[in-house]
Structure 1
Amino acid sequence: MLSSFDDFPIHQTSHPVARTGSSDLNHYDRYFFSGYTRDTRLYFAAAMGLYPNRHVADASFSVVVDGGTADARQINVHASRRAPTDRRDANRVGPIEVEVIEPLTTLRIVVEAPEHGIRCDLTFTRRSPAMEEPHFFHQVGQRVVMDSTRLTQFGKWNGWIEIDGETTQLAAGDTFGCRDRSWGIRTVGERAPTGAPVADPQFFWLWAPINFEGFSTHFDVNEHFDGRRWHESGFIATAGDATSPANSNDATAPVRIAEQAPATAMRAVDYRLTWRPGTRAVETFELDMIPWDGPPSTVILEPLFDFHMMGLGYTHPEWGHGVWKGELEVAGDRWDLPVDDLTAPQHVHIQTMVKATTSGAMGVHEGLGVLEQFVIGRHDPSGLSGIFDGA
């Protein structure tokens, strides 16, 4: 079926754009965004996914208010619709819209769901170039469960968020975060029989994008139950809001976006952690950024509070990704923080807001970011057993 995007020279197969390169039901194309204020009292995140072979599109927006205080709460809005055939219509799901203003540089999120307590108009502007992570490929037995590309990019936010009628203005100098884009194949939608079992359920994922004043660091690992890694990446990126005399007679002229140096990929990354007793959530965490040349740097992450990815549909019992809900359905939910049981299946996947401190080759700097944790099944190096058993 032809669509408007077929008029552009973007084809990667011999078929129209509306037809995916794979007929796998789990083909997906997804946005993720996160942001936080310097005082960490407000944390927000958004996600939007398209699942062409399931004919579903969905999106969520989620906010933590008064993070780290006795009044902390997480408020969410979810939406799901029949996926449009024409990709130019795929940027809106119900009250949630993602607009690409300038590719790889500026994007905008608009949410209009006052009946669920959330309205916003937020613009993301890059601090770093987009970083293409090593390709994700994971196979269980003969079944490919992940085959995808992902980019991560650091940025700053401006605009406003209204929560339960109270509006907060966000300034780009005080609100930072990151975004990612991924596409390919990964498990989504209603669970289906997979035949004979070939392995115990297991997934180990750590992801830590951190913003500092003049740069950003990025880290992630996926590991098997015995600690062998099937994916890892590490980058250090100079912030685009630094100043430089590049192509200018004015030594204080801002760096033009096009003149930013590419992020520097690390030769290796490593980490050390301890779990909060009785949970699969991190209590202490240190990561090492090991460059190709020169000495390494260490980043110590201090947990502040948790954001539950269920607010964006991850592990959500009702609003999971790629699940058919109807032609258009919208709903909201909320809960107090911290939750009572961090080992409940819907609460295992979290992003922990962290304060970060560097040492080593990078010198001493302080920053803010998140440490995402999604750990299912045994993980021998860190002492986890069972499916959701706590440490």
Structure 2
Amino acid sequence: MPISPMDETLAHQTPETFDQVATSDRNFYDRYYFNLHPKSGDLFVVFSIGQYPNLGTTDAFVCIVYKGTQHVLRCSRELGSDRSDTTVGPFGVEVLEGLKTLRIYCEDNEHDIAFDLVFDGTAPAVEEPRTVMRKGARITMDTSRYTQMGRWQGSLSVKGEAIEIGYDDYLGVRDHSWGIRPVGESEPLGININQYTQKYGFFHMWAPLQFDDYQMKVFIEEDADGQITVEECVKIDSFERGGAVHQMGKPRHAIKYRSGTRELETAELYFEDDQGVPITVKAQALSCAYLAAGTGYFPKPDWTHGQYHGELKLEALEFDVSTPEARNELGPLYETLVRFETSTGDVTWGMFENMSIGAHDPYGFDSFEAVAD
């Protein structure tokens, strides 16, 4: 296969060139995720870019929730052999300082959405527990991920309105994940069709909290019975305090969903700190980015991560999110912007990611169609 600029680095992991990954699994991916928000619910931005070497594609999107509308700008192109090219149409990512400072941008385009933003980590990036899932004998998910919280500066333009972004007022979190998870056009179900005649459920929640001199992160995944399959609860000191990572106690959750949906309305998290002191975190929903609507994170016939759209495709969509009725059809992956308050009196704003599909006994969901009362 062709050599590329990445082959100049002393970082090869296999005898292959860098455009070849170690597995032939079609579902291999490598992806950046970022979010940005003020210390309020007035604006919420989610940006992501991913590569799919065995599908030969790369894509990116930005989702901006602002003044009652969710704006989605998305782009896909053929990947080619140079995986160091982290641009997709007008979108791009630039690593300014590894594991600390990155630039993301979207150049001017016909859809009147553009930005040039710098993320600066305020505490170390932390590796999360590896996620492995199987259907029968086949591994369907085997991913590694690290996350980092930080602050933002730069500029954002949405439909002719310019917004200045400054370190004092804008927070966010980013992650970088890679491995195997379903991407691209759907495969035939085969024997997996039997899952629809059996009890199946997947519950996911991910809540990073950023304060002035420390951070906390709770990550939980459960099956239909409520059995935990992935669990993380950590406290991370800021760079100024040394950047130590403290393992905390077993996390528990109590979520109140918005009636008629599985969208978070309020939540409480419970755990003990590394000294055994009980902590409660309360979360109140302010706004939400609906990543199942247009971004590719939830498979739809017209767009899913890794799907082939030809040499280059750029398009924009808008979704009304101004009323509960308008939002009802936009699940099931909810990036809810919340106000966090801890039992120690600390307050911050951040994202509470929530997805519940199929059965989940702890909240009384007994089918794919079940929703909160």
Give the shorter-chain TM-score range.
over 0.9
TM-superposed CA distance for 1:36, in Å, is 0.3
In 2, the alpha carbon distance for the partners of 1:311 and 1:354 equals 22
TM-superposed CA distance for 1:316, in Å, is 5.5
Q: Which segments of structure 1 move beyond 3 Å, counting only runs of 4 or more?
A: 341-344
Structure 1 pair 290–307 and aligned structure 2 pair: CA distance change class (3 A): same
Aligned to 1:217: 216
* Pair 1:313-2:309 in alignment: no
Secondary structure at the residue paired with 1:181? strand
Matches within 5 A, 1:185-204: 185-197=180-192, 198-200=194-196, 201-204=200-203
Structure 2 unaligned regions, length at least 5: none
Aligned to 2:77: 81
Q: Counterpart amino acid of 2:289?
A: F
Moved more, 329-338 or 120-129: 329-338
In 1, the alpha carbon distance for the partners of 2:234 and 2:145 equals 14
Q: Counterpart amino acid of 2:339?
A: K
* Pair 1:333-2:317 in alignment: yes
Matches within 5 A, 1:58-69: 58-66=59-67
Aligned to 1:35: 36
Secondary structure at the residue paired with 1:222? strand
Matches within 5 A, 1:1-391: 1=1, 2-66=3-67, 72-89=68-85, 91-197=86-192, 198-200=194-196, 201-240=200-239, 255=240, 260-309=242-291, 310-315=293-298, 317=300, 318-337=302-321, 338=323, 340=325, 344=329, 346-359=330-343, 363-391=344-372
In 1, the alpha carbon distance for the partners of 2:235 and 2:274 equals 12
Secondary structure at the residue paired with 1:381? helix
Secondary structure at the residue paired with 1:115? coil
TM-superposed CA distance for 1:373, in Å, is 1.2
In 2, the alpha carbon distance for the partners of 1:233 and 1:76 equals 31
1:166-216 Cα offsets, whole Å, 9 max, x none, are: 101011111000000000000111111132134345321111112223322
Aligned to 1:245: none
Q: Counterpart amino acid of 1:368?
A: W
Secondary structure at the residue paired with 1:199? helix
- The 8 Å contact of residues 320 and 327 in structure 2, kept in 1 or not, is answered as no
Q: Give percent identity, aligned residues only.
A: 34
In 1, the alpha carbon distance for the partners of 2:189 and 2:140 equals 11
In 1, the alpha carbon distance for the partners of 2:267 and 2:131 equals 24
- The 8 Å contact of residues 270 and 279 in structure 2, kept in 1 or not, is answered as yes
In 2, the alpha carbon distance for the partners of 1:204 and 1:128 equals 28
Structure 1 unaligned regions, length at least 5: 67-71, 241-254
Q: Counterpart amino acid of 2:290?
A: H
Q: Counterpart amino acid of 1:18?
A: D
Normalising by structure 2, we get a TM-score of 0.93
- The 8 Å contact of residues 338 and 351 in structure 2, kept in 1 or not, is answered as yes
TM-superposed CA distance for 1:388, in Å, is 3.5
In 1, the alpha carbon distance for the partners of 2:327 and 2:66 equals 19
TM-superposed CA distance for 1:341, in Å, is 5.8
TM-superposed CA distance for 1:113, in Å, is 4.4
Q: Counterpart amino acid of 2:190?
A: G
Aligned length in residues: 364
Q: Counterpart amino acid of 1:296?
A: P
Moved more, 194-203 or 126-135: 194-203
RMSD: 1.7
In 2, the alpha carbon distance for the partners of 1:161 and 1:5 equals 31
Structure 1 pair 375–218 and aligned structure 2 pair: CA distance change class (3 A): same
TM-superposed CA distance for 1:306, in Å, is 1.4
TM-superposed CA distance for 1:311, in Å, is 4.5
In 1, the alpha carbon distance for the partners of 2:114 and 2:30 equals 25
